[in-house]
Amino acid sequence: MDPGVATRAAPARVAYRVALLDGGREAFPRMLDAIRGARESVHLEVYHFAREGVGEEFRAALAEASRRGVRVRVVLDGWGTALDGRALQAELRAEGCQVLIHHPLTALLAGRLRRNHRKILLVDGEVAFLGGINIADAYGHTGPGKAPEADEREPDWLDLAVEVRGPAAAWLDHRLRGDHVRPPPGRVHIRLSGVGGARPLRQRYLKSFGAARREILVAHSYFLPDRRFVRCITAAARRGVRVTLLLPGRSDVPLARAATVRLYRQLLAAGVDIREWTRSVHHAKVAVIDERRLLLGSFNLDPLSLANLESIVEVDDADLAREGKRWIEQRAAQARAVGPDDVAGRSALQRWAAEAVGRTVARSAEWVGRLLALR
């Protein structure tokens, strides 16, 4: 291990900086500036990388960094970037970038669907960007060619990212290069799932929710928690913790929403406040606990995510947690409140059909997740 990278100072002396970034409008300019200012290395992992719009800006910035001698490594997911992956790989390789495609679609023939669902940009081992934002205009883009009124519109996809500087970014640099080093002390921890699956990331959520004393705020796009997780949430609500769930009223995966809706009756009975976001596609994955801890990343609370390569950032910082709380509460206020009448107001046949579809989807997702996690 390089002794100059893994800091061993007391937690109070560990310098760190973390910024919450609201969608692509805030994240993309800072990410592009970091790439354009890179001196030594750029590491980008992303599930979906569009070739046009902001994607072209990223491609040009990566190519220019490589031409001036920066080591550029790009990892694309073969499923998420199925249409553009090979073309991007060829274009960036021609500029001297190292480009890998993680498990291309042909790997399905071998029964593999362990996706690389991470969204990570690391520059010079000094600044890291993580979250749920893919590289596409749908997340909010105000660059060249965009009309000024685009700044005022809600992005097509709602999401968040964080910018991390300090020892955690240096640790991430080691991990992405294959070095096994202990995480540095401090309030910021970057957690990655590997070939063993993402159960350790799920455990961080369970531990944080189980320790909550005042409130839990969750905004998650694909919300298919297992029975243990549902019990954890309802137990928190019953012991007096204020639990707010901001869930998708619109989803790019309608069947996933059906599996979520079947949980409403149980959650409402425990006193959970459920809000459905309908103004755009909800793609965020963030939780705030007791105004002091923030969890944010690419990891969804669903069985399929347990088999993926995922990442989360866990930050114990009251200022950042309050900022995350404001973000969730502002959108919860704009979302549709779900009440008992929304569940009970349907006919018995409608309730039975919704329950049957939701149960089938949830059990299928659990089964597939377990199967993939074994490979």
362: confidence class by pLDDT, cuts 50, 70, 90: very low
- Report how far residue 341's alpha carbon sits from residue 343's, in angstroms, rounded to the nearest whole number: 5
pLDDT at 318 over 60: yes
pLDDT at 197 over 90: no
Output the pLDDT for position 109: 52
pLDDT at 113 over 90: no
pLDDT in tens, 240-262: 999 999 999 987 777 777 788 88
Cα of first residue to Cα of last residue in the chain, in angstroms, is 31
Place of tokens 């959520």: 205
Provide the residue type at 8 as one letter.
R
Q: Are 198 and 298 in contact (CB under 8 A)?
A: no
Cα angle 259, 196, 174 (rounded to 5 degrees) comes to: 120
Provide the residue type at 336 as one letter.
R
Provide the residue type at 316 as one letter.
D
How many other C-beta atoms lie within 10 A of the C-beta of residue 280? 20
pLDDT in tens, 116-138: 999 999 999 999 999 999 999 99
**What letter does residue 154 receive in the DSSP assignment?**
P
Across residues 3-30, what is the average pLDDT?
A: 70
Output the pLDDT for position 83: 85
Output the pLDDT for position 345: 52
306: confidence class by pLDDT, cuts 50, 70, 90: confident
Provide the residue type at 48 as one letter.
H
Provide the residue type at 211 as one letter.
A
Q: Are 113 and 79 in contact (CB under 8 A)?
A: yes
Residues 6+ apart with CB under 8 A from 24: 54, 133, 136, 137, 139, 140, 141, 155, 159
Q: Which of 115, 110, 77 minimizes the C-alpha distance to 369?
A: 115
Q: Which of the residue ranges 6-20, 94-108, 299-313, 360-374 would you say has the lowest mean pLDDT?
A: 360-374
Across residues 265-293, what is the average pLDDT?
A: 96
Place of tokens 């060619």: 145
CB pairs under 8 A, 24+ apart, for 234-237? 234/266, 234/267, 234/269, 234/270, 234/272, 235/210, 235/270, 236/209, 236/210, 236/212, 237/267, 237/270, 237/271, 237/272
Q: Which of the residue ranges 12-16, 146-150, 329-333 would you say has the lowest mean pLDDT?
A: 146-150
State pTM to two decimals.
0.87
CA-to-CA dists, residue 212 to 11, 202, 278, 287, 290, angstroms: 23, 16, 28, 12, 6
Across residues 228-244, what is the average pLDDT?
A: 97
% of residues, the chain, pLDDT over 90: 66
Output the pLDDT for position 115: 85
Output the pLDDT for position 358: 46
Across residues 59-76, what is the average pLDDT?
A: 98
Backbone angles phi, psi at 123, to 5 degrees: -120, 125
Average pLDDT of the chain, as a whole number: 86
- Report how far residue 248's alpha carbon sits from residue 266's, in angstroms, rounded to the nearest whole number: 18
Backbone angles phi, psi at 53, to 5 degrees: 65, -130
Output the pLDDT for position 67: 98
Tokens of 150: 């685009």
pLDDT at 82 over 60: yes
149: confidence class by pLDDT, cuts 50, 70, 90: low
Output the pLDDT for position 9: 36
Residues 6+ apart with CB under 8 A from 277: 158, 219, 246, 247, 248, 249, 250, 331, 334, 335
Output the pLDDT for position 8: 31
Output the pLDDT for position 255: 73
Across residues 311-331, what is the average pLDDT?
A: 97
Report the chain's C-alpha Rg in angstroms: 21
Across residues 141-152, what is the average pLDDT?
A: 58
145: confidence class by pLDDT, cuts 50, 70, 90: low
The domains of the chain, with CATH numbers, are 13-191 (3.30.870.10), 199-373 (3.30.870.10)
pLDDT in tens, 155-196: 999 999 999 999 999 999 999 999 988 999 999 999 999 777
